[in-house]
Amino acid sequence: MVRPVRSVLVFGSLAAGFLALAPLAVDPYLLHILILVLMSAVMALSWDLLVRTGQLSLAHAGFFGLGAYASALSCNLLGASWWMSFIAAGMAGGAAALALGIITLRLHGMYFAIATLAFAEVLRTVTLQAKFTGGAVGVTLPAIFGGNRVEAYYLVAVIFVLCLAVSLGLQKSRWGLAFQAIRARQAVAEVIGIDTVKTKLAAFVISSVFPSLMGAFYIHYVTYIIPYEAFSLNTSVSALVMSVFGGIYTTAGPVIGAVVLKILEEYLKSAIVYGYTVIYGLILALVILFMPNGLLGVIRRAAGSGRADQILRWFGGRKRAGVSD
């Protein structure tokens, strides 16, 4: 166990150094891309937190939009400062997840997936219809930190590190084992004394606070949002495809998936303006059919029992084959 620990320390400090120093070395456009990549990583990783309990959420876009609107409206209507509006966004997302979860998480996973998809769509309907949200026109805010991109980068980097810590912490704790047990067989998990509903509910709330924070960050960073963009299904699609592509039930997988696919997406957006999401649909179907453990699964198989494997196993959770259990 000594060697992997050292490798992880080396790898971790290299990554931390890169994260901390990146804004000094790259030009503003690349910094913008880096911010988008970190946002995607938070979205994908937080989506994965819930999947570990075996539940499919299609509501990430809903929480993203909810966070964006909660933060913008608390600034514009209540005069909150930026950090207060972030807290408001996180609380709004958490509360909504709690309410939706209490109703749906007791039932079969299918109902949860359907209800979450409907939830995101209905939030858009409500935002378009309600008076105080600005309707189809959307909302605007002054840019955060006076438009200083480097400070904005550090803010999103801090949230990313927080999400990473939560993910690793959950994985190494009793919670991670409880998640795994529920995913493998819920009835057995109940028999061994896990309160499955409360565990799933906790996972859902944690997993929903992060996209809400990202929504709050997005509106502050881009300064403008409309309901069709805030609650776009593409937000949920990209988060889950990045996670599945990298390798679900792990911490490294969603992050790797976000880095690869977000850069690919930025390239594709300039090539195909409408419908670039087609690539996400294709990747999702192909990954499920041919490599259900994602990129990480492929790397692990290729690496065999080598050192790279040990590092990945350390970063990636307890079990080698996560998906098929």
Residues 110-139, interacting with other proteins (CB under 8 A): 110-111, 113-115, 117-119, 121-122, 125-126, 128-129
Figure out which of the listed residues 23, 54, 227, 316 binds other proteins, where binding follows CB under 8 A: 54
**Counting beta carbons within 10 angstroms of the beta carbon of residue 50, is it exposed (0 to 12), middle (13 to 18) or buried (19 or more)?**
buried
Angle at CA 170, nearest 5°, toward 166 and 171? 120
Please choose, out of 88-96, 104-112, 170-178, 217-225, the segment that lies near other proteins by the rule CB under 8 A. Answer: 104-112
Figure out which of the listed residues 21, 102, 165, 191 binds other proteins, where binding follows CB under 8 A: 102
Figure out which of the listed residues 283, 291, 303, 308 binds other proteins, where binding follows CB under 8 A: 283
61 or 311: CB nearest other proteins: 61
Figure out which of the listed residues 84, 284, 291, 308 binds other proteins, where binding follows CB under 8 A: 284
Figure out which of the listed residues 10, 14, 107, 188 binds other proteins, where binding follows CB under 8 A: 107
Angle at CA 45, nearest 5°, toward 42 and 259? 70
Nearest alpha-carbon partner for 49 in 158, 180, 190, 140 = 180
Helices (H), 185-306: 186-191, 196-222, 227-230, 233-246, 252-271, 278-290, 294-303
266 binds other proteins (CB under 8 A): no
Q: Which residue has the tokens 């959420």?
A: 57
291 binds other proteins (CB under 8 A): no
The minimum distance between CB 178 and other proteins, in angstroms, equals 17
Strand partners, 139: 225
Phi, psi of 323 (to 5 degrees): -75, -40
Please choose, out of 61-69, 202-210, 234-242, 306-314, the segment that lies near other proteins by the rule CB under 8 A. Answer: 234-242
Nearest alpha-carbon partner for 179 in 195, 163, 164 = 195
292 binds other proteins (CB under 8 A): yes
246 binds other proteins (CB under 8 A): no
Q: What is the dihedral of CA 266, 272, 277, 280, to 10 degrees?
A: -70
By the criterion CB under 8 A, which residues form the site for other proteins?
51, 54-56, 58, 102-104, 106-107, 109-111, 113-115, 117-119, 121-122, 125-126, 128-129, 183, 197, 233, 237, 240-241, 244, 272, 274-278, 280-285, 288-289, 292, 323-324
